[in-house]
Structure formats: C-alpha cells, structure tokens
A = this chain, B = another copy of it.
Amino acid sequence: MKPINLKKLAQELDLSVATVSRALNDRYDISQATKDRVRALANKLNYEPNPYASSLRRQKSKTIGVVIPEVANHFFSLAINGIEEVARSNNYHVLIYLTHEDYQRELAMARLLASGRVDGLLVSVASESADFAHLEFLRERGIPIVFFDRVYDEMPTAKVTTDDFESGYKATRHLLEAGCRHILHLAVSQNLSIGRRRMEGYVQALADAGRPYEESLVLLARETKQQDVIQIQQLLEAHPEVDGIFASVESQAMSSYEACRNLGRSIPGDIKIIGFSNLEIAALLDPPLTTITQPAYSIGKEAAKILFLAISKNRVISPTQSLVLKSELVVRASTLPAPQAARPAYTLT
C-alpha cells in the first residue's frame, strides 16, 4: 500500500495541494474550518508527510549525525542517550556512524555527509585520525560540528570535554598517595588531545611528587583486547617494580585486571589500579575498581544542545561555547593503601 500524499488529500477534500500543505503546517492564512477538515482527514488516513520531499524543498534534513569510534562502550552509549534525548525533543532524527577507530572509515563517512544529509554533526574522532581535512571540508560546506570528548582542537567550533589534565593528575596523585612508586600509564593515543592532556596530568603529578617520568612505563592500546593483556603482562614482567596502573581507557583497566590475575599479582596488594570508566558495575568487580568517571550522559546532552542552538538560530558555532565538565574520582578497593586491607571483607561497601 502506497503512503498517502498531499495530492490524494487534496483530491478527497476538493482543495488545492497548496492549501492542504498550509493547513497541515498551521499557517495563519488558512481558515480554521479548512484546517479542521484537512486535519481530520489526514488523521483518518494516517497521513505522514514524505520527509525527503520536505527536506529537498526546505533544504533542512531534520536529521543530525553522530560519528563515534564505537558503541559497545559505556561512555559512548551513555553519550548517545543524552544526544538522542535532545534530538527527540527537537523533533530530529539521529544517524549513527561507527568509525571503529579507523581513519579511512571516518573519511568515507565525511564524504557521505557532505551533501545535506544532516543539518549538523556530533563527532568524537577516531584515535587514528591525524589529518582533519575531511572535517574542515564539512564545515566549509556549512555543516555545524560540535566535538565531544575526542576533539579536533584546531577547528574553531565548540567542544565538550572533561577536565582531562586534572583527571590525569588526580588519578596519578591518588596512586602516589596510596603508596605507588612506579606507575604504568595505559594511555590514549597521543594523536588525541584528551590523550595528551591525561598524559600531561600524569607527568605533572609525578613531577610534583618528585618522581621521575619514565617513557618505558607508558603503553598505548593495541588492536585487540587480547593483545592489550599480553602487552601489559610483558611489561609487568619486564618491570617488576611497577606497583600502580593508571588506565586512561576503560577497556585497559579490565585488561590490567586480567594481566594481574594471569601473573598472580594481587590487587591492590601488589599493584593498585585506577581507570577511566563509566561502567556502573565498577563497584562489583574483584576488587572494586577505583575510577575516574566522566559525566557521559551530560556530555552528550550538552554537546547536542549546543548543536541545536546553532541549527535553530542558523548561526555559526563559536569556540567560546565550549564546555569543560568535571570528572569524578570514585575511590574503591583497587587502590586501597594499607596492605592489611588488601582483601576487604565482601560485605563492606
């Protein structure tokens, strides 16, 4: 069954297509009587306007795009929740694109979005991406872009991030205060500014504590989780002095748990671990994981709000609209300082 269109409604009502269109759009120049008649029939026949005809004519897609590295990740799925919420309340639709951290895919997606498919874009860039001409191109085409979390610093637009330097600093200082002397940093790609900032926080905290920064104690994520685990194990064996791990990526904290388990190192007895994470169940891990938790839902929501402000006002987004939200340090047993408390009773909070 073909969908109803304006023409059919118009025929049925013995009105012109234009009048029907205006009635449905509640224009001032149509009489209440006809509006009522038109709406009644439209409802009865379940008329729904063809979005593409409308988009073509209005040059508005009523759609935004969300480009993220990954969706099977609590941070991004919470962010999507926030984004979807705002989009829905603006009667917008959401197209999802996953880059899987692959620059080529990000490039291909940018191409596809260049011709009006979306009215705006929320982007968290792939860690592989070093060149951003594809995003510049979209901006030149007039598509507003708001970055969140993994931002492309140089573009003069709004970015919603967290206090990554402070978080890296806090995390490292927390480990130092818990008695760690040799802290392994499982870092985010240094292509990304969040990676560099967290790293800077780490380095600064070490310096402030009079501890040396050792390049050999920094690892980047590999392709697969299994490779991460192996990589961490090898480093822990080569550097038995390591007594703390700061994971800047959620999955790396989990890999660290596995590596420690495989090597028979106790947490937090032998090694203390802190990780960036949005997993609700961090508290249920063995041992409960101390986390830096980002306000992922809010990040998505605020980024979307900024985007819709630009879309609705038809204005360029200014970098001054950028937002830096605060992450939270949630201390749990994986960084417990006292050796005698290495295995807290299960019934403790």
CA distance A105 to B85 in the complex (A): 12
Does residue A141 face the partner (Cβ distance < 8 Å to B)?
Answer: yes
Contact of A114 among B46, B73, B97 (CB under 8 A): B46
What's the nearest-Cβ distance from chain B to residue A224, in Å? 12
Question: Which residues of A from 86 to 104 have beta carbons under 8 Å from B?
Answer: 88, 93-98
Contact of A286 among B71, B111, B137, B287 (CB under 8 A): B287
Tier of interface size on chain A: 35 or more
Chain A 42-60, CB-CB to B under 8 Å as 1, else 0, gives: 0000101111110110000
What's the nearest-Cβ distance from chain B to residue A281, in Å? 5
Contact of A56 among B56, B61, B71, B80 (CB under 8 A): B56
CA distance A281 to B115 in the complex (A): 41
CA distance A307 to B49 in the complex (A): 24
What's the nearest-Cβ distance from chain B to residue A109, in Å? 9
Does residue A33 face the partner (Cβ distance < 8 Å to B)?
Answer: no
B-chain residues with CB within 8 Å of residue A339 when the two chains form the complex: none
Chain A 324-349, CB-CB to B under 8 Å as 1, else 0, gives: 00000000000000000001001100
Q: Is the CB of B46 within 8 A of A137?
A: yes
Nearest residue, chain B, Cβ from A63? B95
The verdict on A281 contacting B285 (CB below 8 Å), with A1-B141, A51-B115, A72-B78 known, is yes
Contact of A73 among B48, B53, B77, B279 (CB under 8 A): B77
CA distance A140 to B1 in the complex (A): 6
Q: Which of A182-190, A196-204, A205-213, A254-262 contacts B (4 or more CB under 8 A)?
A: A254-262
- Give 9 A-B contacts (CB < 8 Å), ordered by A residue: A51-B116, A72-B77, A72-B80, A95-B96, A225-B280, A254-B281, A257-B281, A281-B285, A284-B286
